[in-house]
Amino acid sequence: MEGGGGVDAAGGGVHTWRLAHVCAFAFLLHLKPSEPHIVPYLTDVKGFTNESVANDIFPVSIYASLVFYLVAGPVSRRIGLKTFVLLGATCKLWTRILLVWGTSLGAMQSTQVLFAAGSSADAILLAYAYAVARKDDGDAHPTPTSMPNPNPPSARPGGRYRTVTAAISASHLGSYTLAALFGQIAYESGASYASLFRFSLGSVAAGCVLGCFLPSAPFDRGPGLLLYTARPTRTTYAPRPTRTLREELHALAKATRDAFDATTSACYGSGVMIVLSAWWVLSAAPASFLEWYGTNLFDVIDGDADVNGYVVFFARLAMTAAAWAGGSEWVGGRDTAGPSDPWFYAGTSAFVGVCAFAMSASNVVAVAAGFYCAALAASQGGAVVVYAQAALAMDALAASRERAKGSSGLAEEGGGGGGGGDGLGGGSSAPASSPDHALLFGANGFLGVCALVLLQAFVDAARVGIRAEIAAAGWACVFASGATVTLAAARARAFGLGGWALEPTGADLGAGEALMAADDEDDEDVGAMAEADASGLLGRNA
C-alpha cells in the first residue's frame, strides 16, 4: 500500500478513537487501589489467617486459570470477542462485590475463580483491540497535498500491532500504577481497607458500563453483539433433532478434536510461530512468579519496612514505560536487536534471570526492589514485542494459506493475485484482521499458566525459602533463553533458511504449508505451490 492516511502494511492504520475507547475501558477495570492491600484486608478485615489465605484462597485462581485460559480462544470465537470481553468484565465486577460483602471462605474462593475468568478475558482483550482498532482503506482519507510522513511507524509492517499492544498495556499498567500510589497515600492518611475496596468496586463498575458501548469486532458472530449498536433481528430456529447419549459424546469428541486441530494449525503452523510462542510461554512463568512473590522477599530482608505499596508503584511505572518502549520504533524496528532477532528474546530472558539472581542475594530492600523493578520492566517490554510479532506472523501464515488455496475466489472479490501489498494485508487478499488472534492469546496464555504451575510445583516440592524460590525463577529465565536460541537454530536448519531471523514471512511458511498439506490431502504439488507463495510474500515484503 502506498502511504497517506496512516494505512499500514499489516492491514490498515489505527482508529485513534476506538483505541482510546478500549484503553479507557482497560484503565477503569484496573484502577483498583485496594489491590496491593489484598492480604491484610483478608486477614485484618475478613478474619482469615495468613495460612488460609496462602493455602486455601490464592491457589484457587491458579488452577481455575488452567480451565479458563484453555477455553478462552475457542469460546471467544464462538460467542464473539466483544461478548467475551464483557463477560470477563462482569466477572471482575462480581469479584469486587464478593470481596466487599462476602464473608465466608467459599465466597473468597469464588472471588479467585471469578478473578481467573476475568484474567482470561484480559488475554483476549488484545485480540479484540487488534480487530476494532484497525482502520480499513475506506476509513483512511489521505490528503494528496499534505503527506508529512508517508510511512509512519504505525504504517510499517507490525506497526499497528505494536502501537495497539503498547497502548493497551500502558493503559492498564498506568492505571495500576496510579491506583497503587493513591491507595498507599490514602491508607497512610487514615483511609480504611474497606473504603479502598469500595472505590475499586466503583471503578470496575464504571468500566463495565463503558464496555457496553464498545464496538464489535468485524468478524464477530456471537450473541449480544448488537447491544447498544443496532436493533436485533428475530430469527426462527428449527427444532434440534434428538440424539442419543452416545451420539452426543461422539459429537463432543469431534468438536473437541476439531477445535484442537484448528488451534494448533492456526497458532503453530510455521516455524516462526513455534519459536515466538515458545519464548512467550517460557518467559511468562518466571515473570509472573517474580511479580507475585518478589514483595515477600522484602519482608524477609527487613520485616519492619512496609514499603510494598511504593515498590509496586515504581515497578508498575517502569513496566508502563517499558510497554511504551516496546511499541516504539527503536525497539520494534528492523535493526539487529529488533524483534526478528532471536537474541533479542534470549537476551531479555537472560537479563531478567540476572535480576532474579541479584534479588535472591540482596540484603538491602532498596537494592532488591531495584532489581525487582528492572526484571518486571524488561519482561513487560519483551511481552509487548512478542505479542505484536506473533500476531503479524499469524497474519502472514493466514495469508499464505489463503493464497495457496487458489487465487480464483480472491480474484472475484477484486483482490486476487494483484500487485501492491506485502502479503499481509495490501489488498483484499489478506483478512482485515485475523479472528485467530484470540486462539493465539488463549492457547499461549493456557500454556503459560501450565508453565507457572510447574514452576510453583517445583519450588513447593523442594520446600526451600523465598530466596531460593526467587533464584529458581532466575534459572527458569536461563532455560527460556537457551530454549529460544536452540529452537531458532533448529528452525533455520530444518527449513534450510539462510539466517535465523524470526521474520513473519520467512520461508518456513512454505515448508510448513507443505507438511500440513501432505497430512490433509496427500498432494505432493501443494508443497511447491506454498513454497513459491511464501517466496512471493518475501519478494513483496522486501
User: Which residues does the chain have with pLDDT short of 70?
Assistant: 1-13, 135-159, 219-243, 248, 252, 255-256, 259, 303-308, 328-339, 404-435, 495-499, 504-542
Tally of CB atoms within 10 A around 181: 19
Residue 202, pLDDT score: 95
Residue 271, pLDDT score: 80
Q: What is the full DSSP assignment across 413-469?
A: TT-SS-SSS-SSSSSTTS-SS-TTHHHHHHHHHHHHHHHHHHHHHHHHHHT--HHHH
Contact 172, 25 (CB under 8 A): no
Residue ranges and CATH numbers for the domains of the chain are 1-139+151-227 (1.20.1250.20), 263-542 (1.20.1250)
Grouping H, G, I as helix, E, B as strand and the rest as coil, residue 13 is strand
Residue 532, pLDDT score: 42
Residue 331, pLDDT score: 56
Contact 75, 220 (CB under 8 A): no
Residue 5, pLDDT score: 35
Mean pLDDT of the chain: 75
Residue 508, pLDDT score: 56
Residue 434, pLDDT score: 61
Grid cell of 119 as nine digits? 484474567
Residue 58, pLDDT score: 81
Instruction: List, in order, residues 6 or more apart from 346 with CB less than 8 Å away.
Output: 279, 481, 482, 484, 485
Residue 482, pLDDT score: 94
127-139 burial string, b = 16+ CB within 10 Å, else e? bbbbbbbbbebee
Residue 322, pLDDT score: 87
Contact 422, 413 (CB under 8 A): no
Separation CA 294–CA 470 (nearest Å): 7
Q: In the block, which residue shows the cell 531479555?
A: 348
pLDDT per residue over 73-83, tens digit each?
888 878 888 99
